[in-house]
Amino acid sequence: MQKEYIGVGTLDSISAVFDERGVQKVFLVTGKNVYGSSGASDLLKNALQSRDFFCFSDFTSNPKLEEVTAAVTALRAFAPDIVLAVGGGSALDVAKSAAILSIQDDSFEAYVKGEKKLSAGGPPVVAVPTTAGTGSEATHFAVVYIGSKKYSLTHPSMLPAYAIVDPVLLENVSPALAATTGMDALSQAIESYWSILSTDESKAYAKQAILLAKDNLVAIVHDRTDKNCLAMALAAHFSGKAINISKTTAPHALSYPITTHTGVPHGHTVALTLPSVIRFNAQVGESDVTDNRGFAYVRSTLDDINRLLGAENDEGAARTIEMLMDQIGLARRLSLFGMCASDIPLLMKEISHERLANNPRRMTEADAERILTGIL
């Protein structure tokens, strides 16, 4: 059962968490620059000054298996009492992956590919997000890349033991990062709401995330306040709790290879595909519905999303996303990142079929190719 600390000043609870668990050794996973720029280094100084800690930051924005392996090696050598992850989704994912892999044998690639089953355990993880995006502090899976292909390492015990969501850490996030991470949170929430794996619980979380992100995303980019920092921190956290149950769908499935081959941030590439998938799902019918709850259920779910976005219909919902992207400065064409028609077959090879299968309307390879070609 995860313990959550949410709100301004909750980072101060770290000392109490450490004291409660008798922590003497802390394995800190954090981005190369974010630990200082977010203010976390100053805020955590008291909690760490009387304890032995090792800092691991040798990873990139899309964590590779080699980087996770290096984290495991360092973690095993240090033998910490707890893992403290401070940063965006990548830092949190590296920490979660390293913690559980540290107690497995060394066949890490087999675990990441799902060829071997993970055993529960590893040191507990305290997850402290410094962006309002992935909601990784609330999920039991982590992204790991092998070569250019994205995988999800998954196990129930990967849910961090503690999630500390303090919006103070969002105050110094750049407008560009606030835009891309915020769109990731909104996209996750929309996808979770229509996912074939959704439940009443996941939809309740997703609904809150959609409303919070829709009303605060533009503001946190252009006119940041304590109020909208908290709102977007909650949006990201709720979106994470939602996809922890339902997982993501077609926009995420299509986005991963775009990020791999262009370097465009994940939240931006998900947003690139989202309006097209909204339009695609709007055409769902009895013959291609994939949700066991049936066509009428899916249609009502899409109508719910339209209302949550303040749109009258599916096209209005798609345009709302496009307008949000324009307002926060996110380009909406792949060609602006150097991609052309000849790149589409390469993207097609690396689509996540696992995530595609969660979409409420069956998407064929031809459908996916048309969507990617349509956003060139």
Concatenated DSSP letters of 33-101: THHHHTSHHHHTHHHHHTSEEEEE----SS-BHHHHHHHHHHHHHH--SEEEEEESHHHHHHHHHHHHH
Helix or strand holding residue 26 (H, E):
strand 25-30
Task: Give counts: helices (H), strands (E), the chain.
Answer: 17, 8
Looking at the fold, whether 302 and 315 belong to one and the same domain comes out as yes
**91 neighbors 134 (Cβ within 8 angstroms):** no
Q: Is the pLDDT of residue 32 over 90?
A: no
Looking at the fold, whether 213 and 253 belong to one and the same domain comes out as yes
Domain end (from 169, 204, 239): 169
Q: How far is CA 323 from the centre of its chain?
A: 22
pLDDT digits (tens, 9 = 90+) for 236-290: 999 999 999 999 999 999 999 999 999 999 999 999 999 999 999 999 999 999 9
Closest-CA residue to 306 (of 221, 229, 207, 165): 207
Establish how many alpha carbons lie within 13 A of residue 290's alpha carbon, considering only the half-sphere containing its beta carbon: 19
Looking at the fold, whether 165 and 179 belong to one and the same domain comes out as no
Looking at the fold, whether 193 and 219 belong to one and the same domain comes out as yes
Looking at the fold, whether 331 and 244 belong to one and the same domain comes out as yes
Rounded to the nearest 5°, which phi and psi values hold at 105? -75, 180
Rounded to two decimals, the pTM is 0.97
Looking at the fold, whether 157 and 9 belong to one and the same domain comes out as yes
Q: What is the per-residue pLDDT for 138? A: 98
Q: Is the pLDDT of residue 38 over 90?
A: yes
Q: Is the pLDDT of residue 129 over 90?
A: yes
Q: Is the pLDDT of residue 1 over 90?
A: no
Instruction: Read off the CATH number of the domain in which 216 is found.
Output: 1.20.1090.10
Looking at the fold, whether 69 and 146 belong to one and the same domain comes out as yes
Which domain, by its residues, includes 73?
Answer: 3-169
Looking at the fold, whether 206 and 164 belong to one and the same domain comes out as no
Looking at the fold, whether 359 and 210 belong to one and the same domain comes out as yes
Q: What is the per-residue pLDDT for 183? A: 98
How far apart CA 284 and CA 246 sit, in angstroms, is 20
Q: What is the per-residue pLDDT for 344? A: 97
Task: Count the domains in the chain.
Answer: 2
Looking at the fold, whether 264 and 362 belong to one and the same domain comes out as yes
Q: Is the pLDDT of residue 233 over 90?
A: yes
Residue 200 pLDDT grade (very low, low, confident, very high; cuts 50, 70, 90):
very high
Domain end (from 169, 186, 207): 169
Q: What is the per-residue pLDDT for 256? A: 95
Residue 146 pLDDT grade (very low, low, confident, very high; cuts 50, 70, 90):
very high
Looking at the fold, whether 254 and 138 belong to one and the same domain comes out as no
Looking at the fold, whether 266 and 146 belong to one and the same domain comes out as no
Instruction: Read off the CATH number of the domain in which 28 is found.
Output: 3.40.50.1970
Domain end (from 169, 193, 213): 169
User: What's the mean pLDDT when you consider all of the chain?
Assistant: 97
